[in-house]
Amino acid sequence: MVPSTKRKFVPTVVCLGLAWAGCQSAWVSPTAAEIRISNDIVLHPIAAGVWVHTTFSDVPGYGRVPANGLVVIDGREAMLIDLPWTDELTAALCDWIAESHGAKVATVVPTHFHEDCMGGLAEAQRRGAVSYGLDRTIEIARQKGLPIPQIPYRYRTTVRCGRTTAVVTYFGAGHTTDNVVAWLPGQKVLFAGCLVKSMDSNSLGNTKDGDLAAYPATLRKVQAAYSQARIVVPGHGDWGGPELIDHTLRLCRDETPMTGG
């Protein structure tokens, strides 16, 4: 665990030349900017008050694996949509938010039960964050002895961070039977999580907890609901636009169950 004493972060920022004024929904390339908190935590701004956090973990059999989530900051409040892999990484991210932006992580929203989404849930709750979880996610967490999100919802909930709104919705099974997506309407950002794959992915990855038969129909519902999305963020790899959903639908065509990735 990371000690609770304050640490001074000196993040490295690369190629940060983005003008936010009047640009609430500006698309930002994954290579446009980088804020490196540590070797295992990197952030990229993608819209006003919104960053992709990418954290790394050594996964047996797969090596060093990155996983994405969102940081949303509005005033003195912050929200995490998906948490880092571990309590230690979550503590470091929360400390950076506090020291760099004067904000406290008040809300966390895991998009399914895997550790790349809610591995740091216990640390976030220890720090006083309120957590939201799909009823299916909570049921699975109880069965597996995992930390349990506090506020259940069924199908859809609206979560606020200051004046920023996130709409979290369950469209059906895919990567897992409990995967949800989070939509930021003000920024037109869709955090699709592990349901959607990056353009360089050549398979659906780990589907052992999912439903390959339902996967395409779930993606089409997401696609229809958020056709206006300007930025689509997958659970792993580079983000882009709605073409990521089309790419994932193509991967569904000949996919067979896999246990890795």
For CA atoms 250, 210, 135, 123, the dihedral sign is: negative
Whole-number Å distance between alpha carbons of 68 and 43: 9
Domain 12-253, second-level architecture: 4-Layer Sandwich (3.60)
pLDDT tens across 43-82, in order? 999 999 999 999 999 988 888 999 999 999 999 999 999 9
Interhelix angle 243-253/215-225, nearest 10 degrees: 160
pLDDT tens across 143-174, in order? 999 999 999 999 999 999 999 999 999 999 99
Quote the pLDDT of residue 29.
53
Q: Which residues of the chain have pLDDT under 70?
A: 1-32, 256-261
Quote the pLDDT of residue 118.
96
- Contacts made by residues 246-250, CB under 8 angstroms, sequence distance 24+: 247/197, 247/199, 247/201, 248/195, 248/196, 248/197, 248/201, 248/204, 248/219, 249/216, 249/219, 249/220, 249/223
pTM value is 0.86
Quote the pLDDT of residue 256.
53
Q: Where are the domains of the chain?
A: 12-253
Quote the pLDDT of residue 32.
58
Whole-number Å distance between alpha carbons of 148 and 125: 10
Residues with a known catalytic role: 112, 114, 116, 175, 194, 197, 206, 236
